[in-house]
Amino acid sequence: MEQERKEEILSAIHHCVKCKLCSISSFHPNAEWLPLCPSGQFYGYQAFYAPGRMEIFREILDGEITEPSEGLLKSAYACTLCGACYERCKQITSMELRLPELFEEMRAELVKKGWALDVHKNIADKIKETRNAYGEKYEYKAKSTDGNADVLYYIGCTARYRVPEIADAMLQIFDKLGIKYQVMDEEWCCGSVLLRTGQVEAAKELMEHNIEEIKMSGAKTVVFTCPGCLMTFERNYPDMGVELLHSTQLLTRLGSMKVKKLGLEVAYHDPCHLGRDLGIYDEPRAVLSTVADIKKMKREREEAWCCGSGGGVKSAYDEFALWSAEERLKEAKEAGAAALVSACPFCKRNLKEAADKEGKGTEVYDIVELVNRSLEG
Amino acid sequence: MKMTRSLSKFVKELQTIVGEENATDDKAICASYSRDQHWHFVPAKNPAYIVRPGNKEEVRRVLTFANNEKIPVIPYSTGINVRGLTIPVHERSILLDLSRMNRIVEINPEMMTATVEPGVTFGMLLEKTKKYKLRPAFPDAPLTASVLANYYLRGIYQTSAVDGHDHTLSYEMVLPNGETIKTGSRSLSEMPYFRYGVGPDFTGVFCAHPGTCGVVTELTAKLYRLYDNRKEYFVGFDDAGTPRKIIYNLMHDELAASIRLVDNQSWLKGICGTFDYPYEKLPKFVLCVLVEGVDGIFEAKDKLVQEYIKESGGTVLEFPEEFKRTFEEESLGGAEKSCMVFGLRGNYHCIGLYGPLTLAAQYYEVHEKTALEVGIPQDHIHFYINPIYSFHGQLCYFELDIFYDGGDLGFGEKLRNYNEKQFQRLLDLGIYGWFRPYAGIIGPTADRIGYLAEVWKKFLRVLDPNEIMNRGKLF
């Protein structure tokens, strides 16, 4: 790490006074104690809260930690990078400590030292082999309706290979609304999982390929149903001169659609990358409210509880990921919702798995599934 | 990456007591406990072991084990530590993280008490007491701080003057030899609601030793009423001396729930809940007054408060309604926005002390003088006063604050110089007591308290002959 960057990071670490208000949501005016840090809440040791994790990073940068340990790897990687700590710190102190980025850099430092998790290295290997994070054969059947369409739908690995109902729904929405679209013949993983797990170098080839493909497509707008992919394109890719939109932004822009209410009472779960990272809170709610009645949960928007699957946690610490999702499902139930709706394939997958495990009948959807269901074809 | 590591025999023993998941000597986990906000004074140091007991019996067994092995033990409640009190001094220390012990054992609305374990925070407690229209006394510490640790470390400088100073009624403490002692009425009955049981005030005797006597596992504290009738006033003054008269009058006649004199550039921002206001155009000091009470008494108090404000020599400030609401919440519901001060420059230093209101202006004067002498810029120097009921001795908590850039490593030297001079100057000027026995204070103070220092040391050695309890934090 360059000395200048190291000093910047240390300076940020020195600015944390360890009040730990970053670990709970806003207390006043309702005086409710609502935890906000999944890893701290689950594991308990100070190492799993942002202030403690920063101290570990400090010792790495200062050369005091010279060997990997189980605790080091767990503290570094059993964090969903949800960014709730950063938002809370910013709200209260106005400090810009940018914690998720700091913790990504911590992981990148570990990777440079050869201390990556095996499970994350395996993902990198799978991507290298198959160009998707799940190591699947390229078999999701989607065809462009118009090879010269202005709109390109970037499907993403999770919607292609784990929750294809989201990709199906999005494509059907395009058809129902008469929007011509392209999909990439060779869509490669956006690189998010590699970047989030510190494997920065391994992401470069993927990014170059996708940039080239998108440029060649001539599309003016790239639409994503995956906020992780969208955030990666926004933050990590160079400006390609195209507009990047989440599906809910596109649907909001289209204005009134011929949809009918489905008679469902739902809670909306803010995906971390969509909400805290990209500031997209209103559009998903606007779209969802046209097809369902939204029940408010206690922790929403900037203070949403993470579903538990991001930042490489789902692949490495599934028990923790599912616990976090169960907490969210409980909250939706307490709000009186029969279904929990998100706008992210990764959230849906984890929440659905937790709901199925729990077996208490909370339905889990992505917004585009409900929109597709209610759209008159 | 496969991690194979042989555990030391100590960790194995500790894991036998608290479970495999709750004891570790992992270097990274230990590193996460290595510093607190006070690191410019108390350098980073890793504990050797972190142990997270889940109940009193586990605490007892860990202490007995540590005592037999002569391993230092540092009690730690919820992790909101300042003053370096939980940063190890010695090698091979066990940090006893008590945050798993977070049961609210009892809320007794008829007795107006709460019994809590160390991991219960002010936020957790208020959430449960508010339905009885009761609240704990709050410090200006974040809502994430431990109720038990704050009360046990000493009575607190609560944000509500009306609560008085001492909130602790009784507690249970495990000693290094594994014996448990109960203070106050706990020693005689199942009723933990009275401070004085038999013999001396043992509840008080064991307080304020920052974890050097034993480990408090359960504490019963007073709760205070929440009233529906409330009104707030903000009165501006150009100096710290003029408001003395109105503070005296309000305290003498017991009229206000909260009375706080703050300067216009630090704590006032938290009290109002925003950085975005032209505070610099306000008078230098602002007296924040909150009146509350039941029907009839509230109106009478309010009328008198208004009369005292009129004759105070200050200027009544008209603030937006949301500022008033925030002041109420921060005073009677715990410090959340007040923690905005941490963002002023990214760290703060303070000397907290108890003294008489009569010396208010001198405390401020010496604070400013010393800070400027050691090269601290004027705009880093701040101050506040919280008077405390009942007003015998005109008791006030004073905080002499310096807000500085936490990333400025060189600033630590200025702060150390400030402390060295300031402790002596304050002792020369006259104080009632230090808020807590934090880093650097015990040395210069012990020289002045004569044989009491010897008695204190002997008292600790009787309880802890092997000197395992938070060793090095006092003597």
- Closest chain B C-alpha to A86 CA, distance in angstroms: 13
Residue pair B345/B402 in contact by the 8 Å Cβ criterion? no
Determine the pLDDT at residue B213.
95
* Mean of pLDDT over chain A: 96
Q: Taking CB atoms and an 8 Å cutoff, what residues of chain B touch A22?
A: none
Determine the pLDDT at residue B288.
98
Taking an 8 Å cut-off on Cβ atoms, the answer to whether B50 and A69 are in contact is no
Determine the pLDDT at residue B6.
65
By percentage, how much of chain B surpasses pLDDT 70?
Answer: 98
Give domain B104-225's CATH architecture. 2-Layer Sandwich (3.30)
- What digits encode the pLDDT tens for the residues A322-357? 999 999 999 999 999 999 999 999 999 999 999 999
Ordered by where they begin, the domains of chain A are 3-115 (1.10.1060), 151-253 (3.40.50), 265-374 (3.40.50.1860)
Query: Is the predicted pLDDT of residue B3 greater than 70, yes or no?
Result: no
Query: Is the predicted pLDDT of residue B254 greater than 70, yes or no?
Result: yes
Mean of pLDDT values over B275-289: 97
Question: Which one of B31, B123, B143 has the shortest CB-CB distance to A65?
Answer: B31
Query: In chain A, which residue's Cα lies nearest the Cα of B123?
Result: A33
Question: Which one of B24, B34, B347 has the shortest CB-CB distance to A55?
Answer: B34
Taking an 8 Å cut-off on Cβ atoms, the answer to whether B29 and A71 are in contact is yes
Separation of alpha carbons B173 and A7, rounded Å: 44
Taking an 8 Å cut-off on Cβ atoms, the answer to whether A59 and B24 are in contact is no
Question: Which one of A15, A47, A59 has the shortest CB-CB distance to B347?
Answer: A15
A87 membership: H or E segment, kind and range: helix A84-93
Q: Taking CB atoms and an 8 Å cutoff, what residues of chain B touch A67?
A: 27
Task: Outline which parts of chain B fall under CATH 3.40.462.10.
Answer: 229-434
Separation of alpha carbons B431 and B418, rounded Å: 17
Separation of alpha carbons A352 and A329, rounded Å: 9
Separation of alpha carbons B474 and B437, rounded Å: 7
Q: Taking CB atoms and an 8 Å cutoff, what residues of chain A touch B123?
A: 24, 27, 31, 33
Query: Is the predicted pLDDT of residue B115 greater than 70, yes or no?
Result: yes
- Closest chain A C-alpha to B465 CA, distance in angstroms: 30
The ipTM of this complex is 0.96
Taking an 8 Å cut-off on Cβ atoms, the answer to whether A75 and B33 are in contact is no
Q: Is B24 on the interface with A (CB under 8 A)?
A: yes
Q: Is B133 on the interface with A (CB under 8 A)?
A: no
Bridge partners, B402 (sequence order): B349, B381
- What digits encode the pLDDT tens for the residues B150-192? 999 876 777 899 999 899 999 999 999 999 999 999 999 999 9
Q: Which of A192, A204, A283, A186 is nearest to A231 (CA)?
A: A192
Taking an 8 Å cut-off on Cβ atoms, the answer to whether B346 and A70 are in contact is no
Determine the pLDDT at residue B426.
97
Taking an 8 Å cut-off on Cβ atoms, the answer to whether B31 and A64 are in contact is yes
More confident residue, B438 or B410: B410
Taking an 8 Å cut-off on Cβ atoms, the answer to whether A68 and B26 are in contact is no
Mean of pLDDT values over B132-143: 95
Taking an 8 Å cut-off on Cβ atoms, the answer to whether B142 and A19 are in contact is yes
Q: To which residue do tokens 């809670």 refer?
A: A267
Tokens (6 digits) for B311: 């004759």
Question: Which one of A15, A53, A72 has the shortest CB-CB distance to B407?
Answer: A15
- Closest chain B C-alpha to A114 CA, distance in angstroms: 9
Taking an 8 Å cut-off on Cβ atoms, the answer to whether A15 and B2 are in contact is no
- Omega before A75 within 30 of 0, i.e. cis: no
Question: Which one of B78, B334, B405 has the shortest CB-CB distance to A27?
Answer: B334
Determine the pLDDT at residue A143.
84
Determine the pLDDT at residue A256.
79
Residue pair A226/A158 in contact by the 8 Å Cβ criterion? yes
Q: Taking CB atoms and an 8 Å cutoff, what residues of chain A touch B2?
A: 118
Q: Is B342 on the interface with A (CB under 8 A)?
A: yes
Q: Is B19 on the interface with A (CB under 8 A)?
A: no
B398 membership: H or E segment, kind and range: strand B395-405
- Phi and psi, residue A167, nearest 5°: -65, -40
Determine the pLDDT at residue B5.
63
At B1, the pLDDT band (50, 70, 90 cuts) reads low
Q: Taking CB atoms and an 8 Å cutoff, what residues of chain B touch A94?
A: 275, 340, 343
Query: In chain B, which residue's Cα lies nearest the Cα of A17?
Result: B37
Question: Which one of A24, A46, A56 has the shortest CB-CB distance to B79?
Answer: A46
- Closest chain A C-alpha to B100 CA, distance in angstroms: 8
Determine the pLDDT at residue A359.
84
Taking an 8 Å cut-off on Cβ atoms, the answer to whether A92 and B37 are in contact is no
Taking an 8 Å cut-off on Cβ atoms, the answer to whether B100 and A44 are in contact is yes
Determine the pLDDT at residue B2.
62
* Number of CB pairs, chain A paired with chain B, less than 8 A apart: 165
- Closest chain B C-alpha to A87 CA, distance in angstroms: 14
Strand A265-268 relative to strand A293-295, pairing: parallel
Taking an 8 Å cut-off on Cβ atoms, the answer to whether B144 and A23 are in contact is yes
- Closest chain A C-alpha to B69 CA, distance in angstroms: 24
Determine the pLDDT at residue B303.
98
Taking an 8 Å cut-off on Cβ atoms, the answer to whether B123 and A27 are in contact is yes
Separation of alpha carbons A52 and A44, rounded Å: 11
DSSP helix/strand/coil, A34: coil
Question: Which one of A26, A31, A71 has the shortest CB-CB distance to B26?
Answer: A71
Burial zone of B160 (CB within 10 Å; 0-12 exposed, 13-18 middle, 19+ buried): buried
At B471, the pLDDT band (50, 70, 90 cuts) reads confident
At B472, the pLDDT band (50, 70, 90 cuts) reads confident
Separation of alpha carbons B272 and B320, rounded Å: 9
Interface of B with A in 62-101 (CB under 8 A): 78-81, 97, 99-100
Separation of alpha carbons A46 and A40, rounded Å: 7
Question: Which one of A29, A31, A115 has the shortest CB-CB distance to B127?
Answer: A31
- Omega before B53 within 30 of 0, i.e. cis: no
Taking an 8 Å cut-off on Cβ atoms, the answer to whether B123 and A24 are in contact is yes
Separation of alpha carbons A104 and A116, rounded Å: 12
Taking an 8 Å cut-off on Cβ atoms, the answer to whether B142 and A68 are in contact is no
Residue pair B88/B72 in contact by the 8 Å Cβ criterion? yes
- Out of 3.20.20.80, 3.40.462.10, 3.20.20.10, 3.20.20.105, select the CATH number for domain B229-434: 3.40.462.10
Task: Outline which parts of chain B fall under CATH 3.30.465.10.
Answer: 104-225
Please give the torsion angle defined by the CA atoms of residues A252, A258, A259 and A260, in that order, rounded to the nearest 10 degrees: 140
Question: Which one of B29, B80, B325 has the shortest CB-CB distance to A45?
Answer: B29
Determine the pLDDT at residue A358.
85
* pTM of the complete model: 0.96
Residue pair B344/B406 in contact by the 8 Å Cβ criterion? no
**pLDDT by position in tens, chain A (length 377):** 899 999 999 999 999 999 999 999 999 999 999 999 999 999 999 999 999 999 999 999 999 999 999 999 999 999 999 999 999 999 999 988 899 999 999 999 999 999 999 999 999 999 999 999 999 987 667 888 888 999 999 999 999 999 999 999 999 999 999 999 999 989 999 999 999 999 999 999 999 999 999 999 999 999 999 999 999 999 999 999 999 999 999 999 998 788 999 999 999 999 999 999 999 999 999 999 999 999 999 999 999 999 999 999 999 999 999 999 999 999 999 999 999 999 999 999 999 999 999 887 799 999 999 999 999 76
